[in-house]
Structure 1
Amino acid sequence: MTEAAQTAHQLPNEPGDVAPERDLFSKFDGLIAEREALLASGVRDPFAIVMDEVKSPTLAVIKGKETILLGTYNYMGMTFDPDVVAAGKKALDEFGSGTTGSRVLNGTYQGHKECEDALREFYGTKHAMVFSTGYQANLGMISTLAGKGEYIILDADSHASIYDGCAMGNAEVVRFRHNSVEDLDKRLGRLPKEAGKLVVLEGVYSMVGDVAPLPEMVAVAKKHGAMILCDEAHGMGFFGPNGRGVYEEMGVEDDIDFVVGTFSKSVGTVGGFCVSNHPKFDVMRLVCRPYVFTASLPPSVVATAATSIRKLMHAGDKRAHLWENSRRLHGGLREMGFTLGTETPQSAIIAVILKDQTQAVMMWQALLEGGLYVNMARPPATPAGTYLLRCSLCAEHSSEQVEQILEMFRAAGTAVGVIG
Structure 2
Amino acid sequence: MTDLFSKFDPLIQQRETLLSTGITDPFSLVMEEVKSPTVAVCNGRETILLGTYNYMGMTFDEDVIAAGQNALTNFGAGTTGSRVLNGTFQGHKECEDALKEFYGMDHAMVFSTGYQANLGIISTIAGKGDYVILDIDSHASIYDGCAMGNAEIVPFRHNDVEALEKRLKRLPADAGKLVVLEGVYSMLGDIAPLKEMIRVSKEAGAMVLVDEAHSMGFIGPNGRGVAEEQGVLDDCDFIIGTFSKSVGTVGGFCVSNHPKFEVMRLVCRPYVFTASLPPAVVACSAASIRKLMHNGNKRAHLWENSKTLHKGLIDLGFTLGTETPQSAIIAVIMPDLERGAMMWEALLHEGLYVNLARPPATPAGMTLLRCSLCAEHSADQVTEILAMFEAAGKKIGII
| TMscore range, shorter length | over 0.9
Give the counterpart of 2:212 among 213, 232, 245.
Answer: 232
Match of residue 413, structure 1, among 390, 393, 399? 393
Give the partner amino acid of 1:166.
C
**One-letter code of the match for 2:276?**
S
Q: 2:75 aligns with which of 95, 107, 118?
A: 95
Q: Using the alignment, how far apart are the partners of 1:26 and 1:296 within structure 2? A: 36
Aligned to 1:295: 275
Deviation of 1:156 (Å): 0.1
1:262-291 deviation digits (Å, cap 9, x = unpaired): 000000000000000000000000000000
Deviation at 1:384, TM superposition (A): 3.5
Does 2:182 correspond to 1:202? Answer: yes
1:17 alignment counterpart: none
Q: Distance in 2 between matches of 1:154 and 1:165?
A: 12
Structure 1 segments (4+ residues) deviating >3 Å? none
SS of 2:363 mapped into structure 1 = coil
Aligned to 1:119: 99
Residue 369, structure 1, aligned to residue 342, structure 2: no
Using the aligned pairs only, state the percent identity: 76
The one-character-per-residue Cα deviations of 1:238-267 (angstroms, maximum 9, x if unpaired) are 111110000000000111000000000000
Within 5 Å, give how 1:250-261 maps onto structure 2.
250-261=230-241
| Structure 1 residue 171: Cα displacement | 1.1
The residue type equivalent to 1:188 in the other structure is L
- Give the secondary structure class of the aligned counterpart of 1:237: coil
Q: Which residue of 1 aligns with 2:379?
A: 399
CA distance in structure 2 between the aligned counterparts of 1:36 and 1:337, rounded to whole angstroms: 31
Q: Which residue of 1 aligns with 2:41?
A: 61
The answer for the alignment partner of 1:25 in structure 2 is 5
TM-score of the aligned structures, taking structure 2 as reference length: 0.99
* Pairing 1:85–2:65 present: yes
Residue 148 (structure 1) shift: 1.4
Provide the alpha-carbon RMSD of the alignment: 0.6
Counterpart in the other structure of 1:184: 164
Aligned residue in 1 for 2:88: 108
1:274-289 residue pairs with structure 2 within 5 A? 274-289=254-269
CA-CA distance at 1:385 after TM superposition: 2.3
TM-score w.r.t. the length of structure 1 is: 0.94
| Correspondence 1:324 to 2:304 | yes
Q: Unmatched 5+ residue regions in structure 1? A: 1-19
Instruction: Note the 1:328-343 alignment, pairs <5 A.
Output: 328-343=308-323
Letter in 2 for 1:371: G
Q: Does 1:378 align with 2:358?
A: yes
Q: CA deviation at 1:128?
A: 0.2
Query: What is aligned with 2:287?
Result: 307
Secondary structure of the corresponding residue to residue 163 of structure 2: helix
Say which of 134, 156, 172 aligns to 1:154: 134
1:10-49 deviations in Å (ceiling 9; x for gaps): xxxxxxxxxx6x4011111111111111111000011000
CA distance in 1, matches of 2:128, 2:11: 35
Q: Distance in 2 between matches of 1:194 and 1:79?
A: 46
Q: Match of 1:308, SS?
A: helix
**Equivalent residue for 1:4?**
none
Query: Cα distance, 1:184 vs. partner?
Result: 0.2
CA deviations over 1:67-106 (Å, ceiling 9, x no partner): 0000001000000000000000000000000000000000
Structure 2 partner of 1:15: none
Give secondary structure in 2 for the equivalent of 1:353.
strand
**What does residue 72 of structure 1 align with?**
52
**Structure 2 CA distance for aligned equivalents of residues 294 and 74 of structure 1:** 26
Partner of 2:144: 164
The amino acid of 2:134's aligned partner reads: L
Q: Does 1:267 align with 2:247?
A: yes
Trace 1:236-247 onto structure 2 (pairs within 5 A).
236-247=216-227
Segments of structure 2 that go 5 or more residues without pairing to the other structure are: none
CA distance in 1, matches of 2:238, 2:182: 12
Q: Does 1:217 align with 2:209?
A: no
- What residue in structure 2 maps to residue 129 of structure 1? 109
Compute the displacement of 1:383 (Å): 1.8
Q: Cα deviations across residues 317-342 of structure 1 (Å, max 9, x unaligned)?
A: 00000000000000000001100000
Q: Spell out, residue by residue over 1:89-130, the C-alpha distance to the aligned partner (whole angstroms, 9 max, x if none).
A: 000000000000000000000000000000000000000000
Matched length: 399
Q: Distance in 1 between matches of 2:221 and 2:16?
A: 48
Choose the corresponding residue for 1:248, options 203, 216, 228. Answer: 228
Deviations 1:342-370 (A, max 9, x none): 00000000000011011100100000000
**1-structure distance, mates of 2:127, 2:11:** 35
